[in-house]
Copies of this chain bind each other. A is one copy, B any other.
Amino acid sequence: MCHNKINILQEDLYIINMKKDLGVLPAVFPMPVLMVGTYGENDTVDVMNVAWGGICGEDKIALNLAPDRKTLANIRERKAFTVALADEDHIKEADFFGIATGNKMPDKFARTGFHAEKSKNVDAPIISEFSLTMECELLEVREMYGDFRVVGKIVNVIADENILNSAGKVDPSKLKAVMFDQYNMEYYATGGKVAKAWNAGAGLMKE
C-alpha cells in the first residue's frame, strides 16, 4: 500500500500551459489598419494601408514606411498627411490600398470611387468615406534600420457624427474599426466591451 503524502502549496496550483518557441515574428495583436492619405503631383490623392504605426504621444502618431513608398515621397514634399481608420464597411477598398502602389497605378484612389476633400488644417486629403481621420503635420522623417519612421503632430481629428456616443466621444461599436492579424494575414472586427480601464484592476491596489 502506498501512504506517500503529497504536499502542494496553494500558491503552486496554477495551470501550466505548454509553451512553444515561434522564432522571430512581429507578433503584436491587434495592429491597427491605418489609412494614410497624401497628395502627390498635381494634387493626386493617394491612400496607403499601414499596420506598423500608432500613437507615440498625446498629439503624435508614428508610421513606419519602406523607402520606396509613394506615401513617403508625398509626405516629404507636402510636409503633411492624414490617418483614417479602416472599417468593416470599407474593407475591400482598405485592403486594395495595401495591395496597389501609387508609384505604378496613378489612378489608385480614383478606382475606388471614393471621394476626398482637402483638410482645412493640413496639406493633405480627407477621405469622405472613412468615419474618423487624424489631420497631421510632419514633425520628422528619420531613417531607422533601413526603413523610415515618420512622426506627425495631430492638429485635429474629424469624425462622422454618427460614430459618436451621447457624450460626443467616439464609440468603437459604431466606428467598427478593423484590425490586422499578421500571424495569418487577415482582418478582424472589434469585439465587445470587456472592462473599464483603471477600474478592472483597482481591487489589487488595496490587497
Contacts and interface: CB of A to CB of B under 8 A. Distances in A.
A52 B181 CA distance: 18
Contact of A55 (B26, B156, B179): B26
Q: How large is the interface on A (under 10, 10 to 19, 20 to 34, 35 or more residues)?
A: 35 or more
A29 B173 CA distance: 11
Identical chains in the assembly:
2
Contact of A169 (B134, B151, B184): B184
Contact of A95 (B59, B139, B197): B197
Given A112-B204, A171-B183, A187-B194, 17 more contacts: A11-B113, A14-B115, A17-B160, A20-B160, A25-B134, A25-B157, A27-B170, A28-B55, A29-B175, A30-B172, A56-B64, A57-B64, A99-B201, A111-B207, A170-B183, A187-B197, A187-B200
